[in-house]
């Protein structure tokens, strides 16, 4: 009918105006919620522990969408556990950068893979839309010179490979100074997120990627530019995360490890449900202080030099004499002390990301 066409025209004109003016401030949860059927054609990119990822052929029909997108469809067990919180809190997280300055929005785009849309089907949340991770964050992983190489995300975990083994695997070399600059850049992102009321939670060297220096994309004299993945598990301080925040094995802060031991002891001796519930909650807690511990652990592991050239996995390195000596060679005693204090067993004694950055800016 004519009435229907007029309504459609007005709706299209408002949408075009938003896209033309970049008026993201006017976006609502409805603008960033999209039916799965509206995504169009897609092809499977890969499957992980929490989700399967598909690449969309065309940009999704959400305001301002351009470029290449992926659909991260969560597995059934994740949706059974977190479907409600995903539906209620994800739009808030997606829209959070809209309230930021243009400069801060550029920062978000540069250093994170921020969720762009919530995908629903039959009234229930299914997953999220994200921009496709750009090509500079990939490298060709070799397998000891045997067989073809495999295009792989350059996760920061690969920097922990012994330098002597990197050439045969196609992994870029990194000097101690390169690693220190990377740590400071990661702290810059952490400070930004914390100042914006966000807790990272599950941090590991698999959910932080870096640019491949062979592709010549870093700036400001840096060899690597970092970017955070898995923003869908970030949460607002005091709020509920869209997807449950996990602790990656070997990245447990000491206060969480102690709470987990207490939880297991209470369960074993048949303690009351209230006591067990309190201990279980303490073992699951994630805060800005636990974020700082994990970034301190990243610094330790990045600056650790394996004694054994065949040591591939530095995940279990908590106390490393070579990391301590590397830090002391790189920085003055005050800065070295601050870096080490990020790993303090008492969360209240850990510095903020801003404290550490301030010490390095002087």
* Confidence grade of residue 326 (pLDDT, cut at 50, 70, 90): confident
Residues in the chain: 362
Out of 119-123, 146-150, 172-176, 229-233, least confident range: 146-150
Confidence of residue 254 (pLDDT cuts 50, 70, 90): confident
- Using a pLDDT cut of 70, give the percent of the chain over it: 85
In this predicted structure, what is the pLDDT of residue 85? 87
For position 306, what pLDDT does the model report? 63
**Over residues 43-51, mean pLDDT:** 90
List C-alpha distances in Å: 281 to 65, 88, 284, 298. Answer: 39, 21, 5, 25
In angstroms, the CA 272 to CA 45 distance is: 46
Among 265-274, 279-288, 347-356, which stretch is predicted with the lowest mean pLDDT?
A: 279-288
Lowest mean pLDDT among 63-72, 115-124, 140-149, 168-177: 140-149
Higher pLDDT, 154 or 254: 154
**Which of the listed ranges 68-82, 204-218, 291-305, 328-342 does the model predict with the highest average pLDDT?**
68-82
CA dihedral sign of residues 179, 180, 181, 186: positive
* pLDDT of 121 above 90: yes
78-87, 143-152, 251-260, 345-354 — most confident range = 345-354
Q: Which residue has the higher pLDDT, 72 or 81?
A: 72
- Residue 66 CB neighbour total at 10 angstroms: 8
Q: Give the separation between CA 69 and CA 59, rounded to whole angstroms.
A: 6
pLDDT at 312: 45
Tokens of 132: 């496709």
**What is the β-pairing status of strands 115-121 and 33-35?**
parallel
pLDDT at residue 237 is higher than 90: no
198 versus 327: the higher-pLDDT residue is 198
pTM of structure: 0.85
* pLDDT in the model for residue 97: 94
Number of H helices, E strands in the chain: 11, 12
Q: In whole angstroms, what is the distance from residue 187 CA to residue 131 CA?
A: 23
Task: Check pLDDT > 90 for residue 83.
Answer: no
Helix (H, G, I), strand (E, B) or coil at 12: helix
Residue 317 in this model has a pLDDT that exceeds 60: no
């Amino acid at each position: 009918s004519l009435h229907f066409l007029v309504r459609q025209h007005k709706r299209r004109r408002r949408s075009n105006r938003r896209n033309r003016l970049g008026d993201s401030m006017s976006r609502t949860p409805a603008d960033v919620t999209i039916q799965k059927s509206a995504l169009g054609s897609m092809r499977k990119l890969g499957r992980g522990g929490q989700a399967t990822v598909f690449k969309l052929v065309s940009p999704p029909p959400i305001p301002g969408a351009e470029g290449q997108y992926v659909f991260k469809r969560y597995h059934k067990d994740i949706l059974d556990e977190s479907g409600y919180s995903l539906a209620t809190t994800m739009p808030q997280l997606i829209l959070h950068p809209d309230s930021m300055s243009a400069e801060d929005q550029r920062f978000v785009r540069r250093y994170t893979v921020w969720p762009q849309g919530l995908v629903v089907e039959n009234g229930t949340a299914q997953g999220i839309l994200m921009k496709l991770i750009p090509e500079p964050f990939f490298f060709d992983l070799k397998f000891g010179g045997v067989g073809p190489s495999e295009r792989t995300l350059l996760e920061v975990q690969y920097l922990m490979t012994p330098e002597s083994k990197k050439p045969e695997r196609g992994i870029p070399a990194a000097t101690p100074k390169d690693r220190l600059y990377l740590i400071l850049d990661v702290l810059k992102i952490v400070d930004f997120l914390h100042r914006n009321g966000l807790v990272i939670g599950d941090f590991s060297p698999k959910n932080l990627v870096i640019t491949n220096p062979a592709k010549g994309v870093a700036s400001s004299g840096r060899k690597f530019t970092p970017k955070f993945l898995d923003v869908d598990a970030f949460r607002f301080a005091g709020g509920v995360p869209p997807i449950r925040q996990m602790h990656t094995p070997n990245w447990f802060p000491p206060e969480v490890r102690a709470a987990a031991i207490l939880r297991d002891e209470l369960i074993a001796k048949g303690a009351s449900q209230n006591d067990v519930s309190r201990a279980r909650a303490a073992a699951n807690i994630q805060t800005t202080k636990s974020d700082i511990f994990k970034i301190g652990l990243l610094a330790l592991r990045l600056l650790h030099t394996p004694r054994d050239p065949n040591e591939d996995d530095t995940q279990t390195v908590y106390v490393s004499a070579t990391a301590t000596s590397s830090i002391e060679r790189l920085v003055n005693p005050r800065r070295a002390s601050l870096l080490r204090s990020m790993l303090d067993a008492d969360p209240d004694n850990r510095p903020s990301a801003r404290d550490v950055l301030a010490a390095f800016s002087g």
